[in-house]
């Protein structure tokens, strides 16, 4: 469960306000124009930035003063998710032990996770020998191996082509169901909000201006949301 109670955050002269509740195992996509505050919303939940006021409850615990590493959250970004000097097994192993002194059982856990993300046998490859989709699968595996119940994705697949992006979304959807994860994903692609997700948030000017089912975006009364997203209309 994720609950933001009257969160106020100010960056320079840009003010943000979030008041939202996400139930356990829900899958939520966040869309909106560039600079609207989407990534800041995830950063507040993850603990990378601190609000000026309000409460952040994760699984019913107030996390306002909790360091990022102690929160029940893992997060995946669009870029710079892997260390070039480490191979695939080591990059994933950081999610278990940052010192990388892994025992046999932990190495087997990495093997199992690689199989889950479709990269069995890739243990000794280095990032320079991976495609963009493979790199993001490795980064996703490192997030998942931490076994934290909340998964935050900040436009992790936006650099991939459409076919590969939907392949990754299907993989995330499957894994979230298998592991009972709560998912929040920032996306720049509206089509992503119409599949795989049970709820859509539209963020504009530091606030949530739409909170509902993805299909509700298609309704005529929400044409003003289309303008916010830079679309002419949201037709059925």
Q: What is the pLDDT of residues 91-119, one digit of tens each?
A: 999 999 999 999 999 999 999 999 999 99
Backbone angles phi, psi at 113, to 5 degrees: -70, -40
In a domain? residue 107: no
Distance CA 17, CA 199 (A): 19
Which one is predicted more confidently, 231 or 24?
A: 24
Distance CA 48, CA 50 (A): 7
At 25-78, the pLDDT tens digits run 999 999 999 899 999 999 999 999 999 999 999 999 999 999 999 999 999 987
In a domain? residue 9: yes
Instruction: Please give the sequence-ordered ranges of beta strands (E in DSSP) within 70-219, or none if there are none.
Output: 73-76, 150-154, 182-186, 199-204, 207-212
Q: Tell me which DSSP letter residue 52 carries.
A: S
At 56-68, the pLDDT tens digits run 999 999 999 999 9
Classified as helix, coil or strand, 28 is strand
Residue 146 CA: distances (Å) to CA of 15, 139, 143, 226: 33, 12, 6, 37
Total tally of structural domains belonging to the chain: 1
Predicted local distance difference test score (pLDDT) of residue 220: 73
In this prediction the pTM is 0.90
Indicate the average pLDDT of the chain.
91
Q: Which two tokens stand for residue 161?
A: 């082509």
In a domain? residue 106: no
- Nearest CA to 166 out of 139, 194, 127, 199 is that of 194
- Give the domain range for residue 33: 2-81+150-228
SS3 content of the chain, % helix, strand, coil (to 5): 35, 25, 40
Q: Which residues have C-beta within 8 Å of that of residue 5, sequence separation ≥ 6?
A: 19, 54, 55, 56, 57
Domain containing residue 34: CATH number: 3.40.50.300
- Residues shown for the chain: 236
In a domain? residue 112: no
In a domain? residue 178: yes
pLDDT band at 81 (very low <50, low <70, confident <90, very high): confident
pLDDT at 234 over 60: no
At 166-221, the pLDDT tens digits run 888 999 999 999 999 999 999 987 776 677 899 999 999 999 999 998 888 777 77
In a domain? residue 86: no
In a domain? residue 155: yes
In a domain? residue 60: yes
Q: 74 - beta bridge partners?
A: 151
């Amino acid at each position: 469960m994720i609950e933001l109670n009257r969160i106020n955050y100010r960056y320079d002269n840009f003010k943000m306000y979030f008041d939202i509740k996400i139930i356990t195992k829900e899958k939520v996509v966040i869309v909106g124009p560039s600079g609207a505050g989407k990534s800041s919303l995830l950063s507040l939940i993850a603990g990378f930035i601190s609000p000026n006021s309000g409460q952040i409850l994760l699984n019913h615990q107030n996390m306002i003063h909790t360091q990022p590493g102690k929160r029940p959250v893992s997060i995946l970004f669009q870029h710079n998710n892997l260390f070039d000097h480490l191979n695939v097994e080591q990059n994933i192993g950081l999610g278990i032990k940052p010192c990388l002194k892994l025992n046999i059982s932990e190495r087997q856990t990495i093997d199992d996770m690689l199989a889950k993300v479709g990269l069995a046998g890739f243990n000794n490859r280095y990032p320079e020998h991976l495609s963009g989709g493979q790199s993001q699968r490795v980064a996703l595996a490192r997030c998942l191996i931490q076994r934290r119940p909340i998964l935050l994705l900040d436009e992790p697949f936006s650099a991939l082509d459409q076919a590969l992006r939907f392949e990754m979304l299907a993989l995330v959807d499957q894994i979230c169901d298998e592991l009972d994860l709560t998912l929040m994903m920032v996306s720049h692609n509206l089509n992503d909000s119409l599949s795989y997700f049970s709820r859509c948030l539209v963020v504009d000017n530091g606030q949530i201006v739409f909170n509902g089912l993805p299909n509700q975006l298609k309704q005529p009364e929400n044409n003003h949301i289309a303008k916010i997203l830079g679309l002419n209309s949201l037709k059925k």
